[in-house]
Chain A
Amino acid sequence: MNRKRDPDEHLEALYDELIEGALSADEATLDAMLRAEGRDPTEVVAGLRVAFDTTSRNVRTRRLREAKAQHGRSVSRLREHQQALPASPEARRGLLDRTLRRSAEAREALTLQHRDFRQMTDEDVTGLLAQLAALGALPPDEDPEGSGGER
């Protein structure tokens, strides 16, 4: 004798059977079911086409949207660090110099990009300091206003 299903299994098996019914139904039956529910078959089809297109577009562009959001977050973080840097170009160059003297790693990375530090523009210096600040690579006891000048 077959074992009786518990309510959970019974319902799952019932759904399987109803799904099979939907998969094998002809279009007239499907339309009749929709109309019996007060739904217009043409509108249902049109609505589903839009929904499928929208989801496809969202999935396709998700990586790009996430990258854009990530970039936005990075830019704001750098801006925050930029605002905390010394006000004058000279003080900022001094800070960069002191930072590089303390960190061999940062010095090596920078040497690859800028063989001659003196050729760096003020903008380059500011951008670099902001990146180092974001990485937590600035000297911990550094006065952000650079009032101490060269140490």
Chain B
Amino acid sequence: MADDNHETVPTPATLAQVEAAFKALTGKELKVIDRVGQTLAWPGGSAGLGWTFEDLRQEAQTRTLEGTRRWYPGEVDFVRHLAGAMRSIASEWRRRGRRWPRQLGDSMDADTDAGAQARGLRDESLSAEEAMIRREAASAELKRLRALFADDEGVSYILMGIEDNLGRAEIMKASDMTLKEYDAARNRLTRATARSKQAGGRT
């Protein structure tokens, strides 16, 4: 009997497809990747817990080529895949308080805790003190952005709305912003975030 509810299983890209996708990245796509990576960079300050866009880019590419972070071409385009990979790596490093030294496990299944444990990597989960440092760093960055944009109504609404768990449409509606105004405010915020990191400032 035919299964009407048959779902197609997503197929991960082959190594050849991944390599071809890297080579085929256009100038615009490379600029998008740069922008995403600059946004996610984290200076880390004196605690030495930071990473650069280059760290994120290299790690995302390596995991994709090694297949520990798989790309499903039928599900998501390649640039979005790379952005998602950098996003989850940055989040993982923030959660662990620092990035894993790659030399400890060159082909590690770094997207999973199980993979790290299987390779005997030390547990870099945040201690209570490190978690506090991280929370303070996040607070400091938000405080800096709020101060920087105190006179910018659009950006202030975005910051406030995200804090209140609102989606984009809700923020726009509640603040009477058009899509164009919202995008412009978000771009100002993006520029401010990246600038502080390039200058090596504490975020």
A87-B141 Cα distance, complex, nearest whole Å: 71
> Contact: A4 with B163, CB < 8 Å?
yes
> Contact: A44 with B30, CB < 8 Å?
yes
Q: Are A22 and B83 also in contact (CB < 8 A) when A2-B166, A10-B142 are?
A: yes
B54-79 vs A, Cβ < 8 Å mask (1 yes, 0 no): 10011001100110000000000001
How many residues of B sit at the interface, in one of the four size bands? 35 or more
A-B contact pairs, 24 of them (CB 8 A): A3-B165, A10-B162, A13-B162, A14-B142, A21-B187, A22-B35, A22-B190, A23-B80, A23-B83, A30-B28, A33-B191, A34-B34, A37-B194, A45-B27, A45-B30, A45-B31, A48-B25, A48-B33, A48-B57, A49-B30, A52-B22, A52-B57, A56-B22, A59-B65
Binds A, one of B3-11, B115-123, B132-140: B132-140
> Contact: B32 with A30, CB < 8 Å?
yes
The yes or no answer to A106 lying at the interface (CB within 8 A) is: no
Instruction: Write out the residue numbers on chain A whose beta carbons fall within 8 Å of the beta carbon of B135.
Output: 6-8
Instruction: Write out the residue numbers on chain A whose beta carbons fall within 8 Å of the beta carbon of B35.
Output: 22, 25, 30, 33
Q: Looking at the assembled complex, report how far the CB atom of B15 sits from the nearest CB atom of chain A, in whole angstroms.
A: 9
> Contact: A8 with B134, CB < 8 Å?
yes
> Contact: B28 with A7, CB < 8 Å?
no
> Contact: A7 with B142, CB < 8 Å?
yes
A129-B165 Cα distance, complex, nearest whole Å: 72
A75-B39 Cα distance, complex, nearest whole Å: 48
Q: Report which A residues bind B (CB closer than 8 A).
A: 2-8, 10-19, 21-25, 27, 29-31, 33-34, 36-37, 41, 44-45, 48-49, 51-52, 55-56, 59-60, 62, 66
Instruction: Write out the residue numbers on chain A whose beta carbons fall within 8 Å of the beta carbon of B79.
Output: 23
Looking at chain A's contact residues, the main secondary structure is: helix
A9-B187 Cα distance, complex, nearest whole Å: 21
Q: Are A59 and B66 also in contact (CB < 8 A) when A8-B138, A25-B32, A45-B27 are?
A: yes
> Contact: A59 with B62, CB < 8 Å?
yes
Contact of A14 among B65, B94, B159 (CB under 8 A): B159
Q: Looking at the assembled complex, report how far the CB atom of A1 sits from the nearest CB atom of chain B, in whole angstroms.
A: 9
Q: Report which B residues bind A (CB closer than 8 A).
A: 19, 22, 25, 27-28, 30-36, 39-40, 54, 57-58, 61-62, 65-66, 79-80, 83, 87, 90-91, 94, 106-107, 134-135, 138-139, 141-142, 158-159, 162-166, 168, 183, 186-187, 189-191, 193-195, 198
Total contacts A-B at CB 8 Å: 132
A18-B149 Cα distance, complex, nearest whole Å: 16
A41-B33 Cα distance, complex, nearest whole Å: 13
> Contact: A4 with B165, CB < 8 Å?
yes
A22-B80 Cα distance, complex, nearest whole Å: 10
Among A56, A59, A66, the most chain B Cβ lie within 10 Å of the Cβ of A59
> Contact: A52 with B25, CB < 8 Å?
yes
Q: Looking at the assembled complex, report how far the CB atom of A50 sits from the nearest CB atom of chain B, in whole angstroms.
A: 11
> Contact: A15 with B87, CB < 8 Å?
yes
A23-B190 Cα distance, complex, nearest whole Å: 12
> Contact: B34 with A44, CB < 8 Å?
yes
